[in-house]
Every structure is written in structure tokens, then in C-alpha cells.
Amino acid sequence: MFQISAAELQRRMGNGEIFNLLDVREVIEYHTFNIGGQNIPVAKLADNLTTLRYNKKDEIIVICSAGIRSEAAVNILSQNGYNHVLNLTGGLKALHKIKK
């Protein structure tokens, strides 16, 4: 499985890079705190692939709180032909730790 570390994502964000984020947390979690991107909860992802704003060839960074739901989402996307999907290792918790 393809991964991206919190440090690498932070570096890319710091460089002003624009990338495709898919946040697979529940809607309430997303609205409480998010770093952008499209929100489709992992439990609804397989049934809502047609609403995904990204192309199958785009790099997509999948995020959740701890990296577990996003790992499941990466598997769903990969099985459906998305070629360049990355899981944020450790999730938003890991990103928050390095921002301190």
C-alpha cells in the first residue's frame, strides 16, 4: 500500500502545493476540524464513487483521524481503478503532533 507520512504532507502543504484530499471521517468529525478536501465517509465510499471529484489517474491523499479508515478507503479506491492513492500514515493525529 502506498503511504505518505505526516512530515511529508506537512512539507508539501508548507510549500503551497495543491493536492487532492479525500477525508473519509464521518461528517460531524469533518465539520468539527478539517484540512480541506472532499468528505465522503468510508462506510459510504464504495456506493458514492461517482460523486468523487477526482480522476482515477490523479494523486489522491486519503485522510482520517488515525490512518485506519483511510487505509480501508485506499483499498476501495485501488480496487476500483484509482491508480495513485496515498494513505496518510497515522492520520490527522500524526499531522497534529508534528505541528506542535
Q: Which residues lie below 8 Å from residue 74, measured CB to CB, with a gap of 6+?
A: 1, 2, 62, 85, 86, 87
pLDDT at 29: 97
pLDDT at 100: 59
Taking domain 3-99, whether its CATH number is 1.10.3470.10 is answered by no
What does the domain layout of the chain look like in residue ranges? 3-99
pTM of the model: 0.94
Average pLDDT, the chain: 95
pLDDT bucket at 28, cuts 50 / 70 / 90: very high
